[in-house]
Structure 1
Amino acid sequence: MKKKVDVIILAGFLGSGKTTLLKQLLVYEKERNHKTAVLMNELGKVSIDSDVIPGDVPLKELLNGCICCSLSDQLEKQLWALCKENELDTLIIEATGAAHPIDVLDACLSPYLLDELSVSGIISVMDAPRWLDRDIMSVQAKMLMLEQIKHADYIVWNKTDSLSPEQKEQLERDAKRLNKGTPYILTDYASVELSRLFSLAGKQCSEHQPISTEKLKVKTWVYTFNGPVNKKVFENWLCEAPSSIYRIKGYIKYEDQIYLFQYSYGLPSYEKELMKMPLRLVFIGEDLDEERLEEGLKEVEKNSRYR
């Protein structure tokens, strides 16, 4: 069985130190003789940080937009290309500072990539002084920084050398309050124990089981349908689905038609699929009750047989 590519997602607000951490990760992986690729996203038309990537490292760039919105489809295609064009051990995604980490994770769990990638975790690199002074920022910027902390699997409080002991204690309290149980570090120059970033996720599980282990903050889970289901029955179940589900993406079949199904912020969408695709859905959320989800979807399949 083909080994999946380890994926590390680097999130964090603009100028927080993501590229500094990326450079360290590339050195670390080279020392381990691992083949590593990088995908970088810039909001502008010109890449600023791509020059730091060594020439022997496969690189894809997404420019002039954010991978969590206008470039989301391109992200999936570029990830696919990196996997198919290279024999990779590791793939590092450096998202733009305006990206929501869940949207980046969503792209990595595309049905096209499910058998290719294994997400080790979301690493949020936070500009500590900026976070402490966040009240001077816009509401949108503050909310994005909060989301980047809340959904991290590892928090890097960066640029802490000049902070007072009281300010450092505040950072620790914020980490524990906003993302309970998640490891964090107070550091400078994004210096961390790099091996820890590759041990956030464990062994992959079989069908109908979580893709990631309980160590990851955001959980992912896969369900495979045995055949077509009734749309009304499925959407009735969807209306009662727990609010802890952030995203659902995959393929579902109604009668003789397969659809690419996506669910976000409580709204489902369908797009006709011309090719025969595996009928499976990927769920992304927090505190997912896999047993309850599986029971509900099996009930959908059971009830669909009689309609």
Structure 2
Amino acid sequence: MDAQAPALSPIPAVVISGFLGSGKTTLLLAVLHHMRRLGRKVAVLMNEFGDISIDGEILRGEGFSVMELSDGCICCQIGEDFVQAFTEVASRNPEMIFVEATGLADPVDLLDQATAPHLMDRVTIAKMVTVADPKNFTRLSKVLKAIVKRQTQFADVVVIGKADEATPEQVADIRRYIEAHNPHAPVYLATHGQIPGDEDFRWLLADVEPAERERRRAAMRASLEALSEDEYKAHTDFHSMSCRLLRPLVRDRFERFMQSLPPDIARAKGFVRFEGEEGLWVMMYVNGDLYIRPVALSPSPEEHLVFIGAQLDHARLANDLAACEARRRALAVL
């Protein structure tokens, strides 16, 4: 009689959430570089809000394999696709799976998707990490009250990203909020995805005691209130617009355009080239803050931009962006 093969242990998955532009991809990239140095086999599942992947292109350009789910939120719009993608990723038998959720993801729905019956024996959500943007957290916790609260409540760990840009008052505000809504979660400050003094990512890779983790999640669920109609609307009112750039841009025109975006646009990102300048540049815009830096990726992605916000005037954005080109030409709005 053949001996029965031992059952495989579920693959641990780390879910990284946090609002748009909080620094999730920066953190994920730092972790992936560390795992590569260790020779660990990992898989990445990324969900972007928009039909063109920017963060996925960055990870691929750094040599990482990424499975993507775009143009929707994994917790409500593409849930079945998420379960299928999770199943496919698990079938590759990685040592660990990293999931970067869109900034609008509700962790409650995400956990429900990740604990589908046919996934439970293959994958376990080992850790939920929420990344908080110190410059915008207090405002967002009022505008998107329910989503920010849930992302905080269900976090096993909270990381305050962009700590080098934060004031002591901003850090203190986040700590008070976390203490009120999730006093068990440790809080770390990160700069460029790295926690000072913990280059081995012990804070992330150390095991969480499963029984205690599930007890906390069950307690959170028991006290959970359903989203009101207004809260759900605030979650679903966000839309995206993608533009493929057909010519290089004039830098000063582009910077003025980006800095004059209406407040309804919470996030923009993409790849651009500038007239008279060599190479590719990555642009990141978060609630009024603009970052542009050179980037060398292989393969090199096409130049394109994604705008995310509650109200998007597609025609105006396309026209204003076309005015930034070295020579006027129609943009390909996707």
Q: TM-score, normalised by structure 1?
A: 0.63
> Secondary structure in 2 aligned to 1:52?
helix
Contact in 2 for aligned 1:8/1:91 (Cα 8 Å) = yes
Structure 1 residue 9 and structure 2 residue 7: aligned?
Answer: no
CA distance in 2, matches of 1:12, 1:62: 17
CA distance in 2, matches of 1:134, 1:75: 26
Identify which of structures 1 and 2 has the higher relative contact order when contacts are C-alpha pairs closer than 8 Å and 6+ apart: 2
CA distance in 1, matches of 2:223, 2:112: 12
Could you report, residue by residue, the CA deviation over 1:250-307 in whole angstroms, capped at 9, with x for unpaired residues?
Answer: xxxxxxxxxxxxxx99xxxxxxxxxxxxxxxxxxxxxxxxxxxxxxxxxxxxxxxxxx
Out of 212, 215, 222, which is 1:244 matched to? 222
1:213 aligns with: 211
Could you report, residue by residue, the CA deviation over 1:44-69 in whole angstroms, capped at 9, with x for unpaired residues?
Answer: 11111112224764421111111001
* Amino acid aligned to 1:244: A
1:36 aligns with: 42
CA separation of 1:32/1:245 partners in 2, compared to 1, >3 Å: closer, same or farther? farther
1:301 aligns with: none
CA distance in 2, matches of 1:21, 1:126: 11
1:114 aligns with: 120
2:192 aligns with: 189
* Amino acid aligned to 1:98: L
> Secondary structure in 1 aligned to 2:46?
strand
CA distance in 1, matches of 2:178, 2:17: 16
2:169 aligns with: 166
Structure 1 residue 69 and structure 2 residue 76: aligned?
Answer: yes
CA separation of 1:111/1:22 partners in 2, compared to 1, >3 Å: closer, same or farther? same
Q: How many residues align?
A: 216
CA distance in 2, matches of 1:134, 1:30: 34
Calculate percent identity across the aligned residue pairs: 28
1:105 aligns with: 111
Q: TM-score, normalised by structure 2?
A: 0.59
Structure 1 residue 126 and structure 2 residue 132: aligned?
Answer: yes
Alignment of 1:140-179 (within 5 A): 141-179=144-182
CA offset at residue 159 of structure 1? 2.1
2:252 aligns with: none
* Amino acid aligned to 1:191: Q
> Secondary structure in 2 aligned to 1:111?
coil
Contact in 2 for aligned 1:43/1:63 (Cα 8 Å) = yes
CA offset at residue 150 of structure 1? 1.5
Contact in 1 for aligned 2:10/2:120 (Cα 8 Å) = no
CA separation of 1:200/1:184 partners in 2, compared to 1, >3 Å: closer, same or farther? farther
CA separation of 1:129/1:216 partners in 2, compared to 1, >3 Å: closer, same or farther? farther
Contact in 2 for aligned 1:39/1:91 (Cα 8 Å) = yes
CA separation of 1:133/1:245 partners in 2, compared to 1, >3 Å: closer, same or farther? closer
Q: RMSD across aligned C-alpha pairs, in angstroms? A: 2.7
> Secondary structure in 2 aligned to 1:175?
helix
Contact in 1 for aligned 2:133/2:161 (Cα 8 Å) = yes
2:101 aligns with: 95
